[in-house]
Structure 1
Amino acid sequence: MRRKRSEFMHKVVIHKAGGYEQLKLETHPMPKPGDRQVLIRTHSVGVNYADICVRLGVYESARRFVGWPITPGFEYSGWVEEVGRAVRHLKPGDPVFGVTFFNGYSTHVCVPVDLVWPKPQELDFDAAAGFLAVHLTAYHGLLQNVVIRPSMKVLVHSAGGGVGSALVQLCRLHDLQVTGVVGASHKVEYVRQLGANAVIDKSTQPLWDEARRLCPEGYDLVFDANGPETLSQSYAHLKPTGKLMVYGFHTLLPKYGGRISHLKAALELLKMPRFNPLSMTTDNKGVVAFNLSFLFGRTDLLQAAVNDLTTWVEAGHVQMPRVRSFALAEVAKAHRALESGETTGKLVLRTAPLSPSELSG
């Protein structure tokens, strides 16, 4: 007998910028998919640093396109619940994963059919939920923004995190020489296992002395989501024709406490390097900056990336980083863990049926 479709779903809603207390678990009406949309009953949803930026009110695409209230979350795994009239290649019950322009922290998401793909058998639902955002970011940065050649020297900051883990593996897959930077000693062996040729532990080693010792001629590519703390030196350690790849500004935000220190952020902004095109021409170096959430309209790029990434996963060339799961009602705990800087790999929220006590708070 076919299961009766629920009229309600549960999702995390943020009504104004702030700390963990702004993450409210609420009950809302179930959406109805349009002609080219798919309704997904989620199993798990990925947690990314961008979600913290959304909660703090500093994520540009959230402010520009959504405003308050907002449900964060860019990625999910689960099963097709219902399809629109124009959808032909998916049917109810199919296991899928995909990306969404916000709204991921929910038991159900309604998304365009172009942003949903069959879940690879090699990934369980938790792994699939935490796969796409970081791997699409890494793929776009490395393979859709620059021309790579074997044996290029690459420096990856935050190599133990989600995007960093993906970058290390994609560099290894394409015969690049990759040095990973980590902020804690317990992450060193993990990054080595992912395939890094060398790992710098900046908690015990002088970062830039080690970076220069390992690659005295300079790096072809440096991936940096730290912000003012490292951007200037990252650029300085490029070789001629090198590219600085910028996709975040984590040091502008707090690592503990769940709130922005506006004084600290203002001081950090004053340290933000200004890259002069005339100087860059003379140095023969470049800076490339990107944000995955502004790429969702380029389904051609996303489709090409997912096709390659899925092929590599199925062939065993790319492994999923470590995954740590939390219940949807533990969303504040997940944000706190990610802000701590102590995690490796990916965090996900499981959206299994919620108990009355969880729904009440």
Structure 2
Amino acid sequence: MRKVVIHGPGSYDRLKLEEHPDPSPGPGEILVDVEAAGVNYADCIVRMGLYESAKKYVGWPITPGFEVAGKVAALGPNTEGPAPGAPVFAVTRFGGYGSRVCVPAHQVFPLPKGFSVAEAAGFPAVFLTAYHALFDLANVRPGMNVLVHSAAGGVGSALVELGKIAGCRVIGVVGASHKVAVARKLGADAVIDKSVEPLWAVAERLAPEGYDVALDANGVETLGQSYRHLAPSGKLVVYGFHTMMPRKGGRPNWIKLAVDWLRTPRYNPLDLTNDNKSVLAFNLSYLFHREDLLREYMTKLLGWIDEGRITPPPVTTFPAERVADAHRALEGGGTVGKLALTF
């Protein structure tokens, strides 16, 4: 089998496509012949050596990747699941950038109706993230004003779609004009193009009473204002810090990281109480022990796919040999939807 291995932190040259022996599924595992693997911004952070759960659960060397799609190759002993040859997609806690991957059976699902293999590979990480943020943490209700940053990106696209399913009024924010139509097509009620208009002045005009929920993975660039523009009882949900990371070069700028860390807002419980606002944050990679949540979330998401309420994410594919180009494109900030590696 082939898999991408990172032997130590660094830039794109650390991504090595190597030949390794085929893995054998153990009890309760399914071996998947991977045709496509989703690429997420978290994978870039893993490569830089800054992803804490990667250090905790794997260390070096590491194969990144949280999601794959392909066909069942084999079932482990005493394992129930789809028959060999069945098209499936799966979630993984790292290890997804490989042509064959062993996955716990409860993390493997039939290929969604109407999805290509690449679209399925790009589905679970972003939609599980969006579902947890909106329905578990923010507890959204119909009619709420919801502000979604990076609304044409992977998680942002999923947040827009799920926000509309929840009956919310969704305001999307994008960083380039070519992304406006993408966010509108996903269902955003209004889109703010911060490359040509003042983000917060327009955000205030669109929701003078403030936002019930703001979903922010930008970090220091927008966290403070996202909090300030919350309505009474509003919730700021944080799931990343992308603006602290480099747009090119593939290596963290340690001086910028330090300055941004110092500039990152700190939320005092007394202030939160007096402001009548909440700040919530999470990292999906720490939730893999919650089989109940995975089952609940995927049941809902797959049901909405069957009903035609969720559409496949736009996906740009790269052959596995071009994994460095995929990371470079994702970090550059110009991509729309999801990226996937093909094997």
TM score, norm. by length of structure 2: 0.99
Task: Give the C-alpha shift of residue 88 in structure 1.
Answer: 2.0
SS at match of 1:144: helix
Does 2:288 align with 1:275?
A: no
Q: Quote the Cα distance in structure 2 between the aligned partners of 1:270 and 1:291.
A: 21
Task: Give the C-alpha shift of residue 147 in structure 1.
Answer: 2.2
**Aligned residue number for residue 59 of structure 1:** 51
Structure 1: 5+ residue runs without aligned partners?
Answer: 1-8, 352-361
Q: Quote the Cα distance in structure 1 between the aligned partners of 2:170 and 2:140.
A: 13
**Residue 110 (structure 1) aligned to one of 93, 98, 102:** 102
**Residue 125 (structure 2) aligned to one of 124, 133, 139:** 133
Q: Which amino acid letter does the alignment assign opposite residue 15 of structure 2?
A: L
Deviations 1:271-295 (A, max 9, x none): 0100000000000100010111111
Deviations 1:75-124 (A, max 9, x none): 00011111012212322111110100100000010011111111123111
- Number of corresponding residues: 343
**Aligned residue number for residue 198 of structure 1:** 190
**Aligned residue number for residue 315 of structure 2:** 323
**Residue 185 (structure 1) aligned to one of 177, 201, 209:** 177
Percent of paired sites with the same residue? 56
Q: Quote the Cα distance in structure 2 between the aligned partners of 1:146 and 1:259.
A: 33
**Aligned residue number for residue 335 of structure 1:** 327
Instruction: Give 4+ residue runs of structure 1 displaced > 6 Å after superposition.
Output: none
Q: Contact conserved, 2:34 with 2:68, CA < 8 A, in 1?
A: yes
**Aligned residue number for residue 113 of structure 2:** 121
Does 2:20 align with 1:19?
A: no
**Aligned residue number for residue 96 of structure 1:** 88
**Aligned residue number for residue 292 of structure 1:** 284
Q: Quote the Cα distance in structure 1 between the aligned partners of 2:136 and 2:178.
A: 32
Q: Which amino acid letter does the alignment assign opposite residue 212 of structure 1?
A: E
Q: Quote the Cα distance in structure 2 between the aligned partners of 1:197 and 1:302.
A: 29
TM score, norm. by length of structure 1: 0.94
Q: Quote the Cα distance in structure 2 between the aligned partners of 1:19 and 1:13.
A: 13
Task: Give the C-alpha shift of residue 311 in structure 1.
Answer: 1.0
SS at match of 1:92: coil
**Residue 220 (structure 1) aligned to one of 212, 224, 246:** 212
SS at match of 1:29: coil
Q: Contact conserved, 2:138 with 2:237, CA < 8 A, in 1?
A: no
SS at match of 2:137: coil
Q: Which amino acid letter does the alignment assign opposite residue 72 of structure 2?
A: V
Q: Quote the Cα distance in structure 1 between the aligned partners of 2:141 and 2:56.
A: 37
**Aligned residue number for residue 37 of structure 1:** 29
SS at match of 1:273: coil
Q: Which amino acid letter does the alignment assign opposite residue 179 of structure 2?
A: K
Q: Quote the Cα distance in structure 2 between the aligned partners of 1:148 and 1:103.
A: 33
Correspondence list, 1:337-356, <5 A: 337-351=329-343
